[in-house]
Amino acid sequence: EVQLVESGGGLVQPGGSLRLSCAASGFTFSRYDMHWVRQAPGKGLEWVSVIGTTGDTYYPVSVKGRFTISRENAKNSLYLQMNNLRAGDTAVYYCAREGTCSSVSCPLDYWGQGILVTVSS
């Protein structure tokens, strides 16, 4: 059974840093692209970052230069280092697995339960 379990969330002051982790199990982690997606309270879904199997990464403008996604295949773990946090980064953060399909990119077929990050003084 595929499982994704996020940890590391909590309350942080504006300008602070936080590192999220996602522990993966039930599949060969190294063979899949992995994503972070966030959801502000009462709002919709916003894609945050992706890391490919070869380590290539992409970010939207909203977090580029502040967030860094990484992975440690030996530990079946995904990470999100978040620096210079702002109130607007307050959200539930989900890690998600990109499935396999006939395209270069594929939908997100498994999601973690999410972890809350609150940026406030």
- Which residues lie near another protein (CB under 8 A)? 35, 44-47, 50, 58-61, 94, 99, 101-103, 105-109, 111-114
Kindly tell me which of 7 and 113 has the beta carbon lying closer to another protein.
Answer: 113
Distance CA 95, CA 108 (A): 10
Give the shortest CB-91-to-another protein separation in angstroms: 13
Question: HEC profile for the chain?
Answer: CCEEEEECCEEECCCCCEEEEEEEECCCHHHCCEEEEEECCCCCEEEEEEECCCCCEECCCCCCCCEEEEEEHHHCEEEEEECCCCHHHCEEEEEEEECCCCCCCCCEEEECCCEEEEECC
Give the shortest CB-111-to-another protein separation in angstroms: 4
Kindly tell me which of 16 and 99 has the beta carbon lying closer to another protein.
Answer: 99
Give the shortest CB-99-to-another protein separation in angstroms: 7
Distance CA 119, CA 121 (A): 7
Kindly tell me which of 13 and 25 has the beta carbon lying closer to another protein.
Answer: 25
Give the shortest CB-71-to-another protein separation in angstroms: 17
Kindly tell me which of 72 and 109 has the beta carbon lying closer to another protein.
Answer: 109
